[in-house]
Amino acid sequence: MTHFLSARTIRSFSLLIVVLVVGFNFCNETLAQSQPRFGGPESSSPINRLSYEDISHAPLDALLHRYVDCNGMVCYSRWRGRSRDVHALEAYLHGLTRVNAGLPARREAKMAFYINAYNAMTLWGILHEYPVASIQRIDGKRTQFAIFDDLQLWDGASYRSLNGIENDVLRPLGDPRIHFALVCAARGCPRLRNRAYTADALHWQLDDNAREFFSSHARFHISRITRTVQMSPILEWYRDDFGQTDHDVVATVFAYLPQRDRLWLSQHCNWKFKYLGYDWSLNDQCPAVGVKLAAIPYRAYSIASPALKPFMDMMSHGDDASQTTTPSDRCDAVAWEDTGWAHGVEAIRTRRLQDGHGSRAARVPLSPIGKRD
């Protein structure tokens, strides 16, 4: 009887060990699936690494031209249905992992590399989970991974998530125009160009993005009746990149505003400032009926949020909360031009040096773009 019990006990322990091993392997496999990564330290030897200048963005350029229209809308369903092009996007992302950040390269080449990487990774994440009504749905709770943090790319030195690329790499470079190039697959985002960014054309592309961004009534407009300047909340989320006050924000982007609005601002001093709502619904060119219906709450929130924001601010900050401000008396066009884009960027850089902060990302909270609902 003793031998029988001992044998049964041994079998029980053996079975328990097998279950634990299988469960451990399953958890590891699930964790690996929940953190999709492109490349790694072992993916290529230092000898085969390339500089930012030598990385080709032609594959991404061809895919964007094929699936993105002139309004920045993406036909995800058609792209998802063509596995060859999905694999082509994956191959492009794996190709980016061959970069060697230590090799000499122009600043423009580095910026183009990471902007393309950000947009391509976002597209891959959407295609992986499509159909989906909003990128906010890819939060790690309802999906295998949280797109802003778990989706990562090896850049020759470390793994970079979408939040990491934006806050740790691009923002410290000190060019706020990146915020008009990074596209998180939402309708409230800047327009997704149907061409890849290149070092030689980067400044023209970023300038064109900024002008197009502020020409959109959904992202910027001035109400002459109420004398209110209304802007996309992107400029609120990244306030430190554009200026300390609402007046600084307007001065920084002044050169990119439509001419009629620049003229009005140069002639009026006492205007109010307000941030618009943000449309988190997917920038889907040809959504299915189910995706359209699921996107309705996001579209409704973008319309209602500006009206609700004063009450939300009051609840959060008390009676001192305010959404408007009155700028100084610098109303003439020459003064505005003098405090335009280049001056505003230089002022931001100077302030960072005076504050003694090496990285803007370390002291600026993540925007709602990087948060999960």
**Which of 129, 156, 134 is closest to 33 using CA atoms?**
129
Quick one: 222 and 275 in the same domain?
yes
**Which of 147, 238, 215, 145 is closest to 186 using CA atoms?**
147
Among 212, 233, 257, residue at a domain's last position: 212
Quick one: 193 and 224 in the same domain?
no
Tens digit of each residue's pLDDT (9 = 90 or more) over 305-355 = 665 555 555 554 444 444 444 444 444 443 455 444 554 455 544 544 444
Contacts of 127 (CB under 8 A, 6+ apart): 76, 79, 80, 86, 89
Residue with tokens 């601010």: 313
Among 189, 212, 235, residue at a domain's last position: 212
Quick one: 260 and 234 in the same domain?
yes
Q: What is the pTM of this model?
A: 0.77
What's the confidence (pLDDT) of residue 23? 47
What's the confidence (pLDDT) of residue 172? 97
Is residue 361 one of the residues assigned to a domain?
no
Is residue 8 one of the residues assigned to a domain?
no
**Which of 362, 283, 224 is closest to 69 using CA atoms?**
283
Is residue 165 one of the residues assigned to a domain?
yes
**Which of 109, 337, 339, 353 is closest to 247 using CA atoms?**
339
Quick one: 194 and 105 in the same domain?
yes
Q: What is the mean pLDDT of each run of 10 residues along the chain (373 residues)?
A: 54 53 42 69 72 97 98 97 97 95 95 98 97 92 90 94 98 97 97 98 98 96 95 95 92 96 92 93 86 70 61 50 43 46 50 42 37 37
Q: How many separate domains does the chain show? A: 2
Quick one: 72 and 157 in the same domain?
yes
What's the confidence (pLDDT) of residue 4? 47
Residue numbers of the domain that contains 65 = 36-212
Quick one: 263 and 318 in the same domain?
yes
Quick one: 121 and 91 in the same domain?
yes
Tens digit of each residue's pLDDT (9 = 90 or more) over 223-250 = 999 999 999 999 999 999 999 898 899 9
For residue 230, what are its two tokens? 């209304």
What's the confidence (pLDDT) of residue 373? 36
Quick one: 95 and 52 in the same domain?
yes
Are 180 and 213 in contact by the 8 Å Cβ rule? The answer is: yes
Give all strands (DSSP E) within the chain, no chain letters. 37-38, 152-154, 159-161, 220-223, 228-231, 272-275
Quick one: 77 and 130 in the same domain?
yes
Quick one: 106 and 82 in the same domain?
yes
What's the confidence (pLDDT) of residue 28? 39
Quick one: 129 and 265 in the same domain?
no
Among 166, 186, 212, residue at a domain's last position: 212
